[in-house]
Structure 1
Amino acid sequence: MRSIDSPRNARSQRTRDALLAATREILEHDGFAALSMAAVAERAGVTRRAVYLHFTSRSDLVSALFPYIAQQEGLAESTNRVWAAADSVEALREWVRHLARYHPKLMAVDRAIEQVRADDADARRHRDTVNEAQLGNCRRLAEWLHRENRLAHPWTVEEAADVLFGLICTELFGRWLETREWSTGDLDRNLWAICRAVLVRDQDGGV
């Protein structure tokens, strides 16, 4: 049975991945309004029935998109470097590196979601999921800085988390990377300079 089931499972996983890849491509190139089960089927080269075998609705499809993109772009590996840091300041430095290498890959999808978030429940649900994960990481960083007495005055943990959360902004990154033509290296270096100057208390008590 195992020799029969394994190829079937592998094919099923490949189909599911193809559907999610098609969903991402539609969002990146055509926008959220173009996303439908029929459009995903056509983009993936399968029948609509095949789509519904894996996802019961567009809402189900969109809900699966965040973990799919996270896996494809190595989110866990990237953030693991943050939490493996020796101290809170190095963790914050790794967080900035993570943003510079990871977030630009998601900007097209993020823009598509944001354009319709106010009027589309599926888009809003996706955005809320992403926001919750990002804010949780920002709060964890701020708490770590606070525990080690490295959080600069006058920030509270919640305020520092809000500052970090606010810096995860596609519009802001777009202005820097596209309008001002920064490289991702520029983004990493300059975003770290901002975070270091604003949020980190020197060990002698200064900012």
Structure 2
Amino acid sequence: MEPQNARSRRTREAVLEAAHRLVEEGGFAALTMAAVAEGAGVTRRSLYLHFESRTALVVALFDHVNDEVGVAASGAQVWAVTDARDLLAEWFAHLARCQPRLLRVARAVQRVKDDDPDAAAHWDLVQQDWRASSLRVARRLAQGEVLDPGWTVREAADLLLALMGFDVLETLLGERGWSESAYRTRLTRAAERMLLAPAPSVASGP
């Protein structure tokens, strides 16, 4: 007989996969507890034993999708960079790896967040994480003494936050047909030109 904790993990995984499919295929409005239970092949009672509300399910779904995409591991590559001038390139490489794969779930939540408290709570968590990450990048630039003196750390963080938005992603990849590689390299180049102080020139020998 399968151990109870193994069955519980399997049920939870099935619920999250069903929730993900519903959002991808039908948008956030399709994410009802009844539809999730049916899609996962579980009873509503079993569903509520794992997630006491749709809010709890939405928060768990965000974590689940981030895990599937590998956001934490991708972000760790950014923070492992030791040279401050190389940090922006790795930051935008991280966005190119992850943001396109988060787009559908995030957009589904955005569309209804003003009318749905569950969606609003979820989106606030996303924004808090984005702001913290952007600020961390900007601080690293300042600490490495490569941030142009015309920018404060907070102003630089604001710009980075704007550039990682899904509006930018959809415009460039969707409407303008940029590849993920072009998205990465061109945004890196633009951010470097805007935010970084000129590299010190190497003095020539006699």
If the length of structure 2 is used for normalisation, what is the TM-score? 0.92
Distance between the aligned counterparts of 2:167 and 2:137, measured in 1? 23
Is 1:144 the counterpart of 2:140 in the alignment?
A: yes
The answer to whether the Cα contact below 8 Å between 1:113 and 1:127 also exists between their aligned partners in 2 is yes
Q: Which runs of 4+ in 1 moved over 3 A?
A: none
Report the counterpart of residue 73 of structure 2 in structure 1.
77
Deviation per CA, 1:31-87, whole angstroms, max 9, x where unpaired? 111211101011112221221110011111112122111111111110000010022
The answer to whether the Cα contact below 8 Å between 1:88 and 1:141 also exists between their aligned partners in 2 is no
Distance between the aligned counterparts of 1:38 and 1:55, measured in 2? 13
Is 1:97 the counterpart of 2:103 in the alignment?
A: no
State the one-letter code of the partner of 2:116.
Answer: D
Distance between the aligned counterparts of 1:185 and 1:87, measured in 2? 22
Secondary structure of the residue aligned to 1:151 is: coil
Structure 1 vs Structure 2 CA RMSD: 1.5
Secondary structure of the residue aligned to 2:3 is: helix
The answer to whether the Cα contact below 8 Å between 2:138 and 2:154 also exists between their aligned partners in 1 is yes
Is 1:107 the counterpart of 2:103 in the alignment?
A: yes
State the one-letter code of the partner of 1:78.
Answer: S
Percent sequence identity is: 43
How far off its partner does 1:183 sit? 1.2
The answer to whether the Cα contact below 8 Å between 1:150 and 1:201 also exists between their aligned partners in 2 is yes
Matches within 5 A, 1:178-189: 178-189=174-185
How far off its partner does 1:172 sit? 1.4
How far off its partner does 1:202 sit? 2.2
Report the counterpart of residue 115 of structure 2 in structure 1.
119
How far off its partner does 1:180 sit? 1.4
Q: Structure 1, unaligned stretches of length 5 or more?
A: none
Distance between the aligned counterparts of 1:9 and 1:89, measured in 2? 47
Report the counterpart of residue 54 of structure 1 in structure 2.
50
Secondary structure of the residue aligned to 1:29 is: helix
How far off its partner does 1:11 sit? 2.1
Distance between the aligned counterparts of 2:188 and 2:109, measured in 1? 27
Q: Structure 2, unaligned stretches of length 5 or more?
A: 202-206
How far off its partner does 1:95 sit? 0.7
Is 1:13 the counterpart of 2:16 in the alignment?
A: no
Match of 1:135 among 131, 138, 162: 131
The answer to whether the Cα contact below 8 Å between 2:110 and 2:119 also exists between their aligned partners in 1 is yes
Secondary structure of the residue aligned to 2:8 is: helix
The answer to whether the Cα contact below 8 Å between 2:89 and 2:185 also exists between their aligned partners in 1 is no
If the length of structure 1 is used for normalisation, what is the TM-score? 0.92
The answer to whether the Cα contact below 8 Å between 1:84 and 1:91 also exists between their aligned partners in 2 is no
